[in-house]
Structure 1
């Protein structure tokens, strides 16, 4: 245990000794911490026998006197307590995670809370380590993007998040219906909708045979599901199946070679005239290679890409499905702070039910040159 946490516990014991009994809200105010932190400290000290608990109040052992009821009802508006600390665990600050973190940080700063970051490097064991570190250092709640390869947890992979002793919101991850992790709050981009919007746009431009070139990622399953559902809804033929597994293609160079060969076969052997490619960085690499083998974009193959990290910087600007990364981080932060606020109100005798939320934000389709449609516009589906 860190020295400052130990010192806070000693102060909590001294305060209880002085007052005999006080509510969690009063203890939090005396310690100048959030109620979540005060509640967690109190539960630990009660378990150690150093404090007692009566009717939602902490008491000096043997007094048994509950704290007086609050003088006034809790306000209904957001009231994030000063000193609230939110821990955020993401695999890396590369790619889109930087935007997600910035979105969360802006909301937390606006509400007077502080963000502390942990990086897992896509290692599941590091997820657990970072969560424990952040909680031990005083985090009142967590925003977590776990290192789940499939986007959803495999057997035992959700344990690190489920064991967190503070309110936790999943960010850009999903869970299987009925699993224990499905009870967690979560916020994510609706990548299935994004893939479907790409198919609808390409079909609207007259394309009937559309291929899907995916890299292995936590979004791949949802992208494929949305893509396939859109083809079915529009009565379009299924996409030609790739002759390789995107998750086991070895080096990046080998992956590009396989993706190039797949798209060339789609155009020459299956009459494909359009494709959705994930990610946009892959498409930037593939574009000159397609042109080198005689496939002109967009004349022979119209392209839409998923992600909008570098799409506009390509020699031929790429039409992109842009997930709302910053908005996802902001929405996750608001959801967590609102839950912490509601828990504070419960401590004041307010309603005891705090509903869970599964929030999905829709991507935008940003039309540029690579699809052959009208460029420089945003389409909403």
Structure 2
């Protein structure tokens, strides 16, 4: 089975760490990919400071080596040189980059330094990245764990509770009844975000609304919860969500659109995320449907939505603000950032509201 680029990167790191060093040709053979592909993967990982390249070979940085996400020329600062915070995210694509930028701004404003670890959506990499950050002197951790469907296992809970430094969860809803309520957390309120999309469409007279989501997304269940609650509140009947395969390809988009259009009475669709919304919009128009006249659309994410052929109305989670507030909560838990009166301050679970940005895919060009 062909590996996704993130899975391939994780496999490269696993092989090189186990062997210490490998020739490029050996690595390509082990992965079953071309020399060009493995060279591109290694260049990306070396650029992030996660591997070292030398004369047709690749080596593991070794003990005290570079962290995931750290530049080769900038090894992690020791604690005595100033505050060092670690941050683990699944990826550094658009969404997560905004979180990191917000956190970095808050840390820099307090004279500290933020160092990244990237888990590549692999739950087993979360503790690995945490360990690397702690070894490098991180005095606190900002964590967006790669929990399946957004829910931790008992072992993942235990790992977080056993951390030797303060930690703040980002963009993860802390499950009610679990023990993680002992941690601070900051997240976007995706339930209210999903509800906002429904209310916008219903206010426009679009009462038969479908939902299209990725099966593996930890955000999708929250958007679905808001979707169902808002329709019920308005006396409307929710439909079961249309789920797409995690590794969506052109055939997957074609199938999703076919299932959507078979629902004869659907007047609008909410699609999570932007990439999928753009692909679905293209196929709806190719099938002869007009947007928004025949089918109104709301994307959930708002990274790329404005760049669609018909600019898409979108729900925009406050990514940068989440990162910034999470860093502020974390620094307040550190000895150097904590006032004596705040030593026993209660834990905080903060939910920031997404913003609805209205564009032509719901209101049309003439009305916008």
Shorter-normalised TM-score: what interval?
0.7 to 0.9
**Change in 2 beyond 3 A, CA 1:138/1:228:** same
Where does residue 275 of structure 2 map in the other structure? 281
Q: Does 1:335 align with 2:326?
A: no
Q: Does 1:371 align with 2:366?
A: no
User: Which of structures 1 and 2 has the bigger CA Rg?
Assistant: 1
Contact conserved, 1:319 with 1:368, CA < 8 A, in 2? yes
CA distance in 2, matches of 1:333, 1:249: 31
Where does residue 344 of structure 2 map in the other structure? 353
* Alignment coverage as a number of residue pairs: 294
SS of the equivalent of 1:124 reads: coil
Q: Counterparts of 1:163-202 in structure 2 under 5 Å?
A: 163-202=162-201
1:198, distance to aligned residue in structure 2 (A): 0.6
1:99, distance to aligned residue in structure 2 (A): 0.6
CA distance in 2, matches of 1:105, 1:356: 22
* Residue from 320, 325, 342 that aligns with 2:319: 325
SS of the equivalent of 1:158 reads: helix
TM-score, structure 1 as length reference: 0.72
Contact conserved, 2:188 with 2:354, CA < 8 A, in 1? yes
Q: Which runs of 5 or more residues in structure 1 are unaligned?
A: 5-31, 35-81
**Change in 2 beyond 3 A, CA 1:354/1:249:** closer
Where does residue 4 of structure 2 map in the other structure? none
Q: Counterparts of 1:121-270 in structure 2 under 5 Å?
A: 121-216=120-215, 217-240=217-240, 242=242, 245-246=243-244, 248=245, 251-266=248-263, 268=264
CA distance in 2, matches of 1:336, 1:351: 13
Contact conserved, 1:191 with 1:222, CA < 8 A, in 2? yes
CA distance in 2, matches of 1:251, 1:373: 28
**Change in 2 beyond 3 A, CA 1:98/1:235:** same
CA distance in 2, matches of 1:220, 1:308: 15
CA distance in 2, matches of 1:231, 1:177: 24
Where does residue 92 of structure 2 map in the other structure? 93
Q: Which runs of 5 or more residues in structure 2 are unaligned?
A: 1-61, 66-77
* Residue from 278, 291, 303 that aligns with 2:285: 291
Contact conserved, 1:89 with 1:118, CA < 8 A, in 2? yes
Contact conserved, 1:2 with 1:137, CA < 8 A, in 2? no
Where does residue 311 of structure 1 map in the other structure? 305
**For the aligned residues, what is the CA RMSD?**
2.4
Contact conserved, 2:212 with 2:241, CA < 8 A, in 1? no
SS of the equivalent of 1:299 reads: coil
1:254, distance to aligned residue in structure 2 (A): 3.6
SS of the equivalent of 1:208 reads: coil
Contact conserved, 1:367 with 1:373, CA < 8 A, in 2? no
CA distance in 2, matches of 1:304, 1:103: 26
CA deviations 1:75-127 (Å, max 9, x no partner) are xxxxxxx7111000011101300011000001110111110111111111110
CA distance in 1, matches of 2:218, 2:326: 18
Contact conserved, 1:131 with 1:164, CA < 8 A, in 2? no
CA distance in 2, matches of 1:374, 1:231: 26
TM-score, structure 2 as length reference: 0.75
